[in-house]
Structure 1
């Protein structure tokens, strides 16, 4: 999965000065030259990616996006900093106006976000993602939102007005103990599931458009054997489940790569990773058997809007 993006061209000033602390994260603010960036590689089916922030406070051990950090120190401190694209709303408005003039017969397709979480904790303060959604509404995009945050339910009033929307909720494991090992700074599995179910209960034909709902089990982390069936059955309310293995691991920058911290953590779960191919296939077989009315997709094919 290569989400090569705007990471090294977007910033107009190379100097980074901490403006505040939010929780344990250093917060930076800079202006962006562009907010809609041409989608390539893994998500080339879209016209654009949209990343309101750079960096991510969730700091998941396996996150490929750390490879796109501004420098080696920030790469090593992944999860301890976030950069706010302060002029993102104004830039987005200009770019969508420009798009509409050139493509009056086509709706833009946008993937938000490829290398950050648009609903990471700082969003509760800045409401930048919410303001970007308000701008996008007028242009009726085909929009996919990728997040692992229950905060997305805050914006149901806006999201239900998008006719072409898919929400991908990332839940890589069905076991809380595994989540705490691989992504300890993230919301609980229960909170994420409840958030997705809220869309089903709060939106109807009278209130707006119900978005397409996906659970992305990516990368597929271990789920304890005794918890697998119950976890899978809990996913029956969505229309799609996506599974995918870890990215390859290498030292090059600007290429999606699984971090060393996750590779080290895999040693704790030898019962799964000693035969990772078999573990993956057995879990996939359970998905197919239990979720007869849910679309099961793998890898790149699962991240399309359709």
Structure 2
């Protein structure tokens, strides 16, 4: 398979996936499996913890992360085969629980508009009526509302941590504008899709002021968000920390010392600060009448169903590039 390039010197490289569903072992996570049709992300968020995945592959975790994108060109076929194998196994139906899409890269980054790998994966999941939780910054998700309606108990998390244009451009240089994300949330809710805001990461000294967080909450309320979840910045690895500090040094040099005090020898902000932010957000959400949690999709667990008449799932493949 040939590596090809599109504008902005971004490289797009196909890779073959042996399987697409990755089991999630952490009991604290609200899902059982994760799916990531892409590695690397064109949005280029400076705080993205997934930069380390490029390092695991022997690649650089710098701007290579947003300019060398790996895409799993057989993702829908690998997913369907894995779901069918699991269903054939003993207790297979109970093993296929909630699936998260977009845990390590945005499933609706610009390349998805051409390849439609995420959409094809949703077609497979819809055929088996498997619930999903999707996290994205992109309004492109509105394209797939027809499939989201067929996925019972599913929800969408729109990532948005600020309405400040300077902060957005500094740390998420190629991601959709905050206003576009709010419109995406509005569109999802108007169609009856469970959706809310993932206010993350909350950046200390930048997006953590009450008035800043309140603006996001107010926009979420106007869009009739089902929930708002918040999470303070984490810098888990040396690669992520190095890239983030480089961005901070360029955009907000006055804050480098404060961040070094907190994150120099720790991946997280101090516990007292995180508890303060949690309480601050809880008060704002209570005032707005918005839950601070992600809905579970009903009281009863949702299990996989076989496609009608046990026919293979027909996939709508994208046109050749």
State TM-score, norm by structure 2: 0.76
Q: Indicate which of 154, 165, 172 corresponds to 2:143.
A: 154
Aligned partners of 2:297, 2:242: CA distance in 1, in Å? 31
SS at match of 1:178: helix
CA shift, 1:101, in A, is 2.0
Aligned pairs for 1:67-146 (under 5 A) are 67-69=52-54, 70-73=57-60, 75=62, 77-102=64-89, 103=91, 105-106=93-94, 107-146=96-135
CA shift, 1:74, in A, is 5.5
Q: Give 2:217's aligned residue.
A: 232
Aligned partners of 2:85, 2:129: CA distance in 1, in Å? 15
Aligned partners of 2:274, 2:232: CA distance in 1, in Å? 8
SS at match of 1:296: coil
Q: Indicate which of 183, 207, 219 corresponds to 1:223.
A: 207
Q: Are residues 242 and 199 of structure 1, via their aligned partners in 2, closer, same or farther at CA, if it must alter by over 3 Å?
A: same
Q: Give 1:10's aligned residue.
A: none
Aligned partners of 1:24, 1:303: CA distance in 2, in Å? 41
Q: Give 2:290's aligned residue.
A: 294
SS at match of 1:262: helix
Aligned partners of 2:93, 2:185: CA distance in 1, in Å? 32
Tell me how large the CA RMSD over aligned residues is: 2.9
CA shift, 1:245, in A, is 1.8
SS at match of 1:29: strand
Gap regions ≥5 residues in structure 2:
263-268, 299-321
CA shift, 1:182, in A, is 0.7
Aligned partners of 2:194, 2:30: CA distance in 1, in Å? 17
Q: Are residues 99 and 163 of structure 1, via their aligned partners in 2, closer, same or farther at CA, if it must alter by over 3 Å?
A: same
Q: Indicate which of 223, 227, 243 corresponds to 2:230.
A: 243
SS at match of 1:291: helix
SS at match of 1:64: coil
Q: Indicate which of 36, 42, 49 corresponds to 1:64.
A: 49
SS at match of 1:191: helix
Q: Are residues 303 and 33 of structure 1, via their aligned partners in 2, closer, same or farther at CA, if it must alter by over 3 Å?
A: farther
Q: Give 1:46's aligned residue.
A: 31
CA shift, 1:265, in A, is 3.9
Larger radius of gyration: 2
CA shift, 1:72, in A, is 3.5
Q: Indicate which of 216, 241, 263 corresponds to 1:259.
A: 241
CA shift, 1:304, in A, is 7.0
- Cα distance per residue 1:172-215 (max 9 Å; x no partner): 223121111111110000100110111122x2xxxxxx332121
Aligned partners of 1:105, 1:42: CA distance in 2, in Å? 19
Aligned partners of 1:47, 1:232: CA distance in 2, in Å? 29
